[in-house]
């Protein structure tokens, strides 16, 4: 059978697929619409990351396809109901990159709370900004507010507890006595409570109608003065212009943004001069180990689905 892979995948996992099936692996296929549609027309499985939009023309072209493997977890780039209606099984790599994201969140939180790690150019140039950097904050004892207490949210909570942080979490789908809260040592809270009381707020929700625009200017203004906002979930959930304005106004104490409304994000002058801002190109879930786990999980599940 024929498998097409439209974005990057660990080459050893690709070889595992190629040992049993015809594989077309082109990490840039996502950027070549005509070639992608041609390859899709005869494939039995398609494997994508987050950039390939499995809907519209591509979905219509997948006439013989039985399975859509997703090298990651967010499914907002896949029209899942339409795929299922067309007889395709959609398989995400549930949990496989959760640790990579959780570590990114903790690292960003510690860097931004402490605020002392951007001094390399000044120190190398013989300046000694010791006074200016003497007000960094410790992580222990601070409150981490988790919005979306699923697989990544819970793992992030566990790492935070190991650093002696207080952890509170909001998830509208989970009851406040769900075992996950006790297992992590987190307190269930409302959205407003998390926003008002957390020193660091981190988002781990899917992009759906209920989360689109969730962190708008009003909610950012309601966050504690000096608090930190971390978004590794999806673009469209946080108003990044409001984040930039809040950082410049000195209300937010820091922000780490890994995901954007448009990716790749074009040059954005609004971020110029923003203090305590970390911008990364949608890589919080992508590490050597995370990519290996995601790739082998999807290779194995796609092989199983094609049997």
Measured distance CA(258)–CA(285) in Å, rounded: 10
Say which of 122, 138, 263, 289 is annotated catalytic: 263
The residue range among 19-27, 30-38, 111-119, 282-290 that interacts with ligand NAD, by the rule CB under 6 A, is 282-290
Establish whether 234 is a catalytic residue: yes
Q: State the number of CA atoms in the 13 A half-sphere of 39 facing the CB.
A: 21
Contact present, 149 and 180 (Cβ < 8 Å): yes
Q: Does 235 bind ligand NAD (CB under 6 A)?
A: no
Measured distance CA(259)–CA(280) in Å, rounded: 8
Q: Does 254 bind ligand NAD (CB under 6 A)?
A: no
Burial 213-251 (b: 16+ CB within 10 A, else e): ebbeeebbeebbeebbbbbbbbbbbbbbebbbbbbbeee
Q: Does 173 bind ligand NAD (CB under 6 A)?
A: yes
Least distance from ligand NAD to the Cβ atom of residue 169, Å: 9
Contact present, 167 and 187 (Cβ < 8 Å): yes
Establish whether 84 is a catalytic residue: no
Nearer to ligand NAD, 20 or 175 (CB): 175
Measured distance CA(46)–CA(14) in Å, rounded: 12
Q: Does 7 bind ligand NAD (CB under 6 A)?
A: no
Extended strands (E) in 49-207? 67-70, 89-92, 143-147, 166-170, 187-188, 200-203
Binding mask 283-302 for ligand NAD (x = CB under 6 A): -xxx----------------
- Count residues contacting ligand NAD (CB under 6 A)? 32
Q: Does 206 bind ligand NAD (CB under 6 A)?
A: yes
Nearer to ligand NAD, 3 or 194 (CB): 194
Establish whether 21 is a catalytic residue: no
Where does this chain bind ligand NAD (CB under 6 A)?
72-74, 97-98, 101, 147-153, 170-173, 204-207, 210-211, 232-234, 258-259, 282, 284-286
């Amino acid at each position: 059978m024929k498998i097409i892979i439209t974005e990057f995948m660990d080459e050893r996992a690709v070889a595992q697929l190629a040992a049993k099936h015809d594989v077309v692996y082109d990490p840039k296929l996502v950027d070549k619409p005509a070639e992608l549609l041609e390859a899709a027309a005869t494939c039995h499985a398609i494997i994508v990351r987050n950039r390939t939009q499995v809907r519209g023309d591509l979905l219509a072209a997948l006439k013989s396809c039985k399975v859509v493997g997703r090298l990651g977890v967010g499914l907002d780039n896949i029209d899942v109901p339409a795929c299922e209606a067309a007889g395709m099984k959609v398989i995400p790599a549930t949990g496989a990159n959760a640790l990579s994201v959780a570590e990114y969140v903790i690292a960003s939180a510690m860097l931004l709370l402490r605020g002392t790690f951007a001094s390399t150019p000044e120190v190398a140039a013989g300046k000694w900004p010791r006074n200016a950097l003497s007000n960094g904050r410790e992580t222990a004892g601070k409150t981490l507010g988790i919005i979306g207490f699923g697989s990544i949210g819970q793992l992030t909570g566990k790492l935070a507890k190991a650093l002696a942080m207080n952890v509170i979490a909001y998830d509208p789908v989970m009851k406040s006595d769900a075992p996950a809260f006790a297992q992590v040592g987190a307190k269930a809270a409302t959205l407003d409570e998390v926003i008002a009381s957390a020193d660091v707020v981190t988002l781990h929700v899917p992009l759906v109608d209920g989360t689109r625009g969730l962190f708008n200017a009003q909610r950012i203004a309601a966050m504690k003065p000096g608090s930190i906002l971390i978004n590794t979930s999806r673009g469209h959930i946080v108003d990044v212009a409001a984040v930039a304005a809040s950082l410049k106004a000195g209300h937010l104490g820091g922000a780490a943004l890994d995901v954007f409304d448009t990716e790749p994000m074009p040059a954005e002058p609004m971020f110029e001069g923003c203090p305590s801002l970390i911008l990364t190109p949608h890589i919080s879930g992508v590490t050597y180990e995370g990519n290996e786990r995601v790739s082998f999980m999807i290779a194995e599940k796609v092989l199983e689905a094609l049997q």
